[in-house]
Amino acid sequence: MIQGNSSSRDGFSTKFGVIAAAAGSAIGLGNIWRFPYVLGQNGGGAFLLIYLVFIAAIGIPVMMSEFTIGRSAQLNPVGAFKKIAPGKKWHLIGSLGVVTAFIILAFYTVVAGWTLEYMLQSVRWLLFPESSGVAGLTGDASREFFQEHYESFTNGIWRPVIWFLVMLFFTGFIVVSGVKRGIEKYAKILMPVLLILLLVLVFRSVTLEGAKEGLVFLFKPDFSQIKDAPVKVILEALGQAFFSLSIGMGTLITYGSYIQKKENLANTAVSVAAADTFIAVIAGLAIFPAVFAFGINPGEGPELVYITLPVIFQNMAGGLIWALMFFLLLCFAAITSTISVLEVIVAYLTEQLKLTRKRAVFLSAVSVAVLGLICTVSSDVFAVFNASPDILLPFGGFFIVVFIGWFFSKNSLKKELSSNGARKIGYYPVFLFLVRFVAPLAIVFLFAIGVYNKIINVFPSMG
Ligand code: TRP
């Protein structure tokens, strides 16, 4: 898949390779685990609507900006800003991205570990229902079983730790041995399979008795649902859009640096965003009808999908096989994301600090192991780590669009977007308007009301 391009750096060799790798980074637990539970906690359809607006108006412009920065500089995020804006402070945005990468990798890999646990438990439950101590294969019993299991599992130490370390090991192994290029090959086959499995789940879920309420919850915007905390809902939709698209942190600057000069960046960004959003909505469509049909609380929290999915499998012919396949593929989808996060740190350590690739991976994996272990032990730390991308990513994204909109040479920008004049860029004025005004002002405004809200909460008299 990989060939040297103009420089001696590795690069993606085909258009589909680029999209597969970037989509592999974007599609992961963010779509299937985080999106449904955050939507469930934030009022359903109204959240979805706001989310979609953010993807289009902010997400896609940020993604194109990251690709542009990466491809024009051919470097990691820190190196890229240093090269394009020498002597300026912009590289700090790259450094912030590296720090954010550690935080995301820590909690994300922990959740990826849950996938393995639930794969095992689903198998156990489906093979030996009596071993769980709950009688009968009813929705209620299994819901209880998995809910209780979640508590005892995450309150325990060893199992979450072991699963976490397994996932971290795989991630490090893939990044160090460079087989992530081989991953591209598998992603092309396995991602479509994951989509098919999701569609099967959707079919089962929407045909359950009482499913309709879930569809209404997901698709019918009901703004009265968010009137208590509209600011929180809007900020979490923004954060989730950034998280799901893998933007705001330099992952796609790094991947952009591997894209060939002749590729169409706008087209790539739109395809990746469309695929990512589609999978998230499909995941919602698989989860919410079942959530309502089985009487699970949509605002349950991070365990939402992990306690809902097994119950769906249980109500399917051949549930065991479906469960196994699904959780395995989810693991795979998580790994194509974790390697893209680790890649940011490793590209930084190898290119800026001149470490060997092996050392870089070892060092970062050990640091992530420490942070992740803290996440498995303390649910408070987990919650803080899990929430911090909501702020850190839009913060980074703000500077990325401002950089492209106001500081990056417009000649270079046109050159990158048009592949050196080979392509028409009729969307250019719209893009410029979005990166100059819409995206940065929206982020600043939302942050400002977020801060205002916090102040009012602390000093109610000021409201
Ligand atoms: N987007 C991935 C997901 O949805 C997670 C991810 C990978 C990510 N790389 C990232 C999130 C960079 C933020 C930034 O699962």
* Domains of the chain with bracketed CATH: 15-462 (1.10.4160)
244 lines ligand 1 (CB under 6 A): yes
Give the position, in ligand 1's atom list, of the atom nearest the Cα of 247. Answer: 14
26 lines ligand 1 (CB under 6 A): yes
pLDDT beyond 60 at 134:
no
Give the position, in ligand 1's atom list, of the atom nearest the Cα of 25. Answer: 7
Region of poorest pLDDT, from 17-21, 92-96, 156-160: 17-21
For all residues of the chain together, what is the average pLDDT?
91
pLDDT in tens, 258-308: 889 999 999 999 999 999 999 999 999 999 999 999 999 999 999 999 989
116 lines ligand 1 (CB under 6 A): no
Pocket test for ligand 1, best of 62, 243, 339 (most atoms within 8 A of CB): 243
Confidence tier at 427 by pLDDT (50, 70, 90): very high
pLDDT beyond 90 at 462:
no
352 lines ligand 1 (CB under 6 A): no
277 lines ligand 1 (CB under 6 A): no
Query: Which residue CA neighbors atom 9 of ligand 1 most closely?
Result: 246
Distance CA 253, CA 256 (A): 5
Q: List the one residue out of 175, 172, 174, 160 whose CA is nearest residue 113.
A: 160
pLDDT in tens, 332-387: 999 999 999 999 999 999 999 999 999 999 999 999 999 999 999 999 999 999 99
pLDDT in tens, 246-255: 999 999 999 9
Phi, psi of 4 (to 5 degrees): -70, 140
Distance 337 CA to ligand 1 centre (A): 6
Distance 241 CA to ligand 1 centre (A): 10
Distance 108 CA to ligand 1 centre (A): 9
104 lines ligand 1 (CB under 6 A): yes
251 lines ligand 1 (CB under 6 A): yes
As a whole number, mean pLDDT of residues 70-79 equals: 96
264 lines ligand 1 (CB under 6 A): no
Give the position, in ligand 1's atom list, of the atom nearest the Cα of 389. Answer: 13
Q: Are 80 and 272 in contact (CB under 8 A)?
A: no
Pocket test for ligand 1, best of 180, 246, 391 (most atoms within 8 A of CB): 246
